[in-house]
Structure 1
């Protein structure tokens, strides 16, 4: 294997185990030689995981390759700790070759330590030592002189010099504990570096297990125990829209819910208020969780009204405290305050609600706070948890380099942070709509009568951070309530609903049975009403506005033969649009409709027998029905599911913010169905 192959394999193994490091946390490196393509001579290089990458999924493209001689030469031009940020730009002048990732702030640590392989990781057990009040003494007690203590210093060139110096002064050492931060290990071979990293992590784990207190968080607070699972999930679904709305005061957020045993244990324990107030310590943690979480101080048995009032009070207090934190530590060079809402909200007996600009960010924030809980447990077991102070946290959170990293992020897609629920979305028009909404940045919940098909359709669109599939019979009030709750638990709320579920029975009046009539109206008229009603409850609780879109039909305004039940139902849906637009406008909820015509290809309705019946009505072959519909339009074009999806995006993508109560024809021009 090549040096790069060894580095990638080691990184993937270390990153695959959450005990070793968290998502996108830490970095690894290797030194070796390559041929200079200009001179043909051998050149010493440093390969190091680039900025923003993840060890568990690292690929060669995620490495930065630098000339080692130039990295080492930076020691001679280092301007001192007051200007160490200048050195990050200097790394760009050390790069070798084309492509690759941007060098991270930790590049100096890897280049300056005199070892061929270096691992910098954020294991919970290591950070427990790093954040213990007597961490330096505990490090000696646990490791002897095999692992050395490095006092807290913000990541950067000076920290690299510190570690390199301590490593040189302690040739017996295999690595170090970085105060307030994590661990670093080194070795002459990739295998040796990996084994030393694992030795530090596992030794720390064993020391905590053998020497730690059995109840580091204290006893259980009476009445704060976890609710039973079903009751807990129901409570979470009820609270989530309100909490998400509060957490989106400055800018919209997507949510994630975690009711794992570790979270519930922490929130039931006596010491959780004190520890939560101290906040997290490792930079990777608090950059994602903010300086501290917001914690509800009521027991699970408190009434919904009590909880609602208290959450609003605590949210305002949190915002005030965050503004205080910013004002106390900001100076003339500090970036503007990015937002004062919490990223983590803890509710005893229920669980943890986390937030971010997308589902992955929200989920990762929860994972990092779970890491923080594990760190606090370890530190409290062997000592007292003592994270870095607020001033140091602020220096990292509002670091110019962090601001530059945020500025490099791609512009959000039009529907970023929006959560969409699409009914009848496992096939046809619904699937096309869900696919388009996800492509534009939305989190999508695919609801369908067939759960397996809904789950499969969601998997085609993306992973569970993008789309989930749920079973929902839109005629069943209970299933709709359950489906909406599932959507809320998946992403935090609902912002956009598309009432698409439908079927069609094409019969003349005298052949249309009461059963036909009731089925058509139950699925589309009743179903749209039930979905809109439940979604509106969520949207009102969030206070973020929203969109409800009905996929009606040109038949809602056009009178054709042999179609009494279907067309009457579509007319019902069309008027629901107008009625709900009038009622929900004061809540910022816009309600609009789309009137397609003759969507044959890809349509579940047409494939289910409707196409054959309509073809018989018009006297054409079924396979030519799409062509027939196209020829009767003004534009002579066939309407496809994607065209309906385009119209949904046009209504919800941010350009028609002042439009409600509108029906958009997507029929290629049917004069008899013109709106008037």
Structure 2
């Protein structure tokens, strides 16, 4: 049975987390204390409910709470070994847990359990961090909040910070919260409503002070030539640069990308002080854990050519990697974790916008949101003071914290297609939809491309929405439309790794009834369409320099001469040979090109539903509803081929399991001897 306190806590957390001015995604934590009955003794016991490690306030549920016995947690004070060994206390929290299940306690648990208040909030608001990172943050805290809010000098999150805040609360009964230097804020109250009100008062008071007293140009004067390009120009340039940037950001480990051209980013990059501020990096631990300590910033004006920008980005990337390795070597000790990678997580391009990267789309998007928070923090701090983030050594201690390493070790093993971006044509139904569904289940980001935009968008939502899939309209017979589809792909997910040429249609007629229009339509959609898609995709794959896959959904008809099918079978043979030709041409770039030859797929097929099924049934003299059975009975295995069978082959062919295979056609036809490859 849910405790009344947890309902209040979750509601408060969701309200606070829903507004990004209060805290960012997965940032901060909240808690509540209350009494419950111990099921063993039947006696009342004081408990602490606190947001667990890795959760998000805006979407917090009861499962995301850690529940601890307060008596045991507070008894840890007596065994606290001191700040040099405070990380050991996190493991001790496990011995304070109450009941079964629940989330793992986070490093901030001590802050909530030791402070003598029924309800505690710890948040990362932009306005609060602006005060926390100002050079004179302590004096500003006193000036802005008077005696209601105390200043806490920077201290890494942990048990000692909890003791420090608890002492402030005990010794200053009128204090409602603290500003944590370089970090964020903490507030408390006797009731959930009071804690929330105190948190919001600190945030809003800081925000009002900055707005009323801050200078109007906190980032300095406008930098000539660095202003925002028009929307069309910047998105075109972003799409042109995206493959290069994704490639350099994936040098150590493949990453998915996210692009934004938010006004705040463009304003920051158009201002004279952006190089200085960018070099200082972010401050709040939640920020630089996701964005690295600083971004890579292209130091060219907005109207620099794409070619010039690409060349300079590659130079800057080399410099960035050398500087990051030097930073690691300056601070790493014998017990430090190995360097996790020297590539940037944030790349800023003046006049264009921000590219952010992560192991999946959500993480990449959130990294960008965090850097946008960091820009807002810098704006606030520079408006009223000088932005002064915590020092490099402290940043290293956070970034390579053993507790962070342990958190990373708990992450599940990546799926077979994690970090891969797939463009699937004809993906709103049948084989295409099944392939998109299977690749998404294996961790890929999917662009569902189809002539029917509504259907494509519906499938994308079914797959998980914009952090997993987007739906676009694409006519593969139109070169401009194909290029637009590839552009949409790289802007949505940062790049492209895997293309499935699946779009198709069929007109079943004997030779003398097949018109020139029939022939041209079949070849335009499948032969020409596959060529156009492969050409546009190959340009991105080559520029990324990450290898990739191009997959053709051909047909057993590419090698089997069936009756009354001249146009369809001829164009499928064209596709089959494109596989061989492109495998030979693109192999030097690490790009694999393979094909799948299915037998007739009746169930779920858009082609068959469009009249092809009735015509093929008439050719073979069977009822249309029996066509699938007819196809199955003529195979060696006596099995009907389903869209999912083709999708299984697509997943295997594009996985690391077949990393050394290219130019191959796999039959998925349940055994049609006449279509055996020779």
Q: TM over 0.5, yes or no?
A: yes
Query: Could you tell me how far apart the structure 1 residues matched to 2:668 and 2:83 are?
Result: 63
SS of structure 2 residue aligned to 1:19: coil
- Which residue matches 2:195? 193
Query: Could you tell me how far apart the structure 2 residues matched to 1:269 and 1:169 are?
Result: 45
Deviations 1:125-175 (A, max 9, x none): 000000000000000000000101000000000000011111111111110
- Which residue matches 2:249? 247
- Which residue matches 2:233? 231
Query: Could you tell me how far apart the structure 2 residues matched to 1:309 and 1:506 are?
Result: 51
Of 622, 625, 635, the residue aligned with 1:623 is 625
Query: Could you tell me how far apart the structure 2 residues matched to 1:65 and 1:304 are?
Result: 54
Where does 1:367-382 land on structure 2 (aligned, <5 Å)? Answer: 367-382=369-384
Of 530, 533, 537, the residue aligned with 2:532 is 530
SS of structure 2 residue aligned to 1:655: helix
Where does 1:36-47 land on structure 2 (aligned, <5 Å)? Answer: 36-47=38-49
Query: Could you tell me how far apart the structure 2 residues matched to 1:585 and 1:537 are?
Result: 14
Query: Could you tell me how far apart the structure 1 residues matched to 2:416 and 2:551 are?
Result: 17
Deviations 1:14-36 (A, max 9, x none): 00001100000000000000000
Contact 2:114 2:162 in 1 (8 A): yes
Scaled by the length of structure 2, the TM-score of the pair is 0.99
Of 303, 306, 310, the residue aligned with 1:308 is 310
Deviation, 1:608, is: 0.3
- Which residue matches 1:489? 491
- Which residue matches 2:503? 501
Deviation, 1:304, is: 1.9
Matched, 1:399 2:401: yes
Query: Could you tell me how far apart the structure 1 residues matched to 2:367 and 2:104 are?
Result: 23
Deviation, 1:645, is: 0.2
Q: 5+ unaligned residues in a row in structure 2: which ranges? A: none
Deviations 1:298-347 (A, max 9, x none): 00111222111110110000000000100000000100000000000000
SS of structure 2 residue aligned to 1:560: coil
Of 201, 204, 211, the residue aligned with 1:202 is 204
Deviation, 1:438, is: 0.2
SS of structure 2 residue aligned to 1:550: strand
Where does 1:561-580 land on structure 2 (aligned, <5 Å)? Answer: 561-580=563-582
Matched, 1:648 2:656: no
Query: Could you tell me how far apart the structure 1 residues matched to 2:504 and 2:203 are?
Result: 56
Query: Could you tell me how far apart the structure 1 residues matched to 2:137 and 2:617 are?
Result: 79
Where does 1:324-473 land on structure 2 (aligned, <5 Å)? Answer: 324-473=326-475
- Which stretches of structure 1, 4 residues or more, deviate above 3 A after TM superposition? none
- Which residue matches 1:96? 98
Of 615, 629, 638, the residue aligned with 2:640 is 638
Of 218, 221, 224, the residue aligned with 2:220 is 218
Query: Could you tell me how far apart the structure 2 residues matched to 1:306 and 1:430 are?
Result: 39
Query: Could you tell me how far apart the structure 2 residues matched to 1:222 and 1:43 are?
Result: 65
- Which residue matches 1:105? 107
Deviation, 1:259, is: 0.3
- Which residue matches 2:152? 150
Instruction: Give the RMSD, CA atoms, in angstroms.
Output: 0.5
Contact 2:134 2:387 in 1 (8 A): yes
Scaled by the length of structure 1, the TM-score of the pair is 1.00
Query: Could you tell me how far apart the structure 2 residues matched to 1:654 and 1:450 are?
Result: 32
Deviations 1:463-497 (A, max 9, x none): 10100000000000000000100001000111000
Query: Could you tell me how far apart the structure 2 residues matched to 1:493 and 1:327 are?
Result: 32
Deviations 1:277-305 (A, max 9, x none): 00000000000000100000000111222
Aligned residue pair count: 676
- Which residue matches 1:82? 84
Q: 5+ unaligned residues in a row in structure 1: which ranges? A: none
SS of structure 1 residue aligned to 2:657: coil
- Which residue matches 2:174? 172
Query: Could you tell me how far apart the structure 2 residues matched to 1:157 and 1:345 are?
Result: 35
Deviation, 1:56, is: 0.4
SS of structure 1 residue aligned to 2:197: helix
Deviations 1:64-120 (A, max 9, x none): 000000111000000000000010000000000000000000000000001000000
Contact 2:237 2:306 in 1 (8 A): no
SS of structure 1 residue aligned to 2:587: helix
- Which residue matches 1:480? 482
SS of structure 2 residue aligned to 1:237: helix
Deviation, 1:619, is: 0.3
Deviation, 1:570, is: 0.2
- Which residue matches 2:597? 595
